[in-house]
Amino acid sequence: MRSILECENLSKYYGTTKALDSITLSIPQGRITGLLGPNGSGKTTLIKICNDLLTPTKGKIRIGGFEPGVETKKIVSYLPEKTYLNNWMKVSELINFFKDFYTDFNTDKAYDMLSKLKIDANTRLKTLSKGTKEKVQLILVMSREAKLYLLDEPIGGVDPAARDYILETIIKNYSENASVIISTHLISDIERVLDDVIFLKDGQVILSKTVDEVRDESGKSIDALFREVFRC
């Protein structure tokens, strides 16, 4: 299986803090991977490095063969932990904005998802609730036909019904050439849709397996295993 993302001894230090400590990873094409770990374990740091928002202190990272930069931004669709969209813009304007920016943006798909989630494209972002804003942002990200989707906490702020729809959207959009990396704390909600899980702890990979391997070997769900490994 060809891999879309590869890290080799990747490290990121903030002063003396090791946010990422020599991570070696390979994410194959066509897989949905859960990036799981407690707060401060390095999930967001890793995702930010993938998006060229942080530069690694040491080590190598390649996405589709390229270092993070202009080339990788064409194939990576990124949902950040915080919203960066302009509040004064209408949803329809945001869609045009994304269409201008990304050649792989599928407008029909975006409008289809908006209508499924009953969001009016003529409303301005600032008049929407926090959860609805998050839905809009996720719709924009999932409407791209990217090679790699990097979703940082995509379901944290939305209600369970919308959560189900979002997971369904991820399954539906799954294609054999696209991979999805989801970082989240809400493990029990997403573990059915994952192929693989990666546990991060103090900037290190402590487990990297398929979901069914974990269940087979431990007789536990990912959620239960997580609670055991990271017991406070």
Residue ranges binding other proteins (CB under 8 A): 30-32, 164, 167-168, 171-172, 174, 188, 192-195, 211-212, 215-216, 219-221, 223-224
Shorter beta-carbon distance to other proteins: residue 91 or 167? 167
Find the shortest distance in angstroms from Cβ 212 to other proteins.
4
Find the shortest distance in angstroms from Cβ 190 to other proteins.
10
Q: How far apart are alpha carbons 62 and 158 in whole angstroms?
A: 32
Letter string b/e over residues 214-229, b meaning 16 or more CB atoms within 10 A of that residue's CB: bbeeeeebbeebbeee
Find the shortest distance in angstroms from Cβ 171 to other proteins.
6
Find the shortest distance in angstroms from Cβ 85 to other proteins.
29
Shorter beta-carbon distance to other proteins: residue 11 or 179? 179
Q: How far apart are alpha carbons 28 and 133 in whole angstroms?
A: 31
Shorter beta-carbon distance to other proteins: residue 153 or 191? 191
| Nearest CA-CA partner of 156 in 136, 180, 131 | 131
Give all strands of the β-sheet with 58-63 in edge-to-edge order. 17-28, 3-14, 58-63
Shorter beta-carbon distance to other proteins: residue 62 or 109? 109
| Nearest CA-CA partner of 56 in 3, 20, 5, 15 | 20
Q: How far apart are alpha carbons 95 and 88 in whole angstroms?
A: 14
Q: What are the strands, taking DSSP E only, across the chain?
A: 3-14, 17-28, 32-36, 58-63, 76-79, 148-152, 179-183, 196-201, 204-210
Shorter beta-carbon distance to other proteins: residue 99 or 185? 185
Shorter beta-carbon distance to other proteins: residue 90 or 185? 185
Find the shortest distance in angstroms from Cβ 174 to other proteins.
5
Find the shortest distance in angstroms from Cβ 74 to other proteins.
25
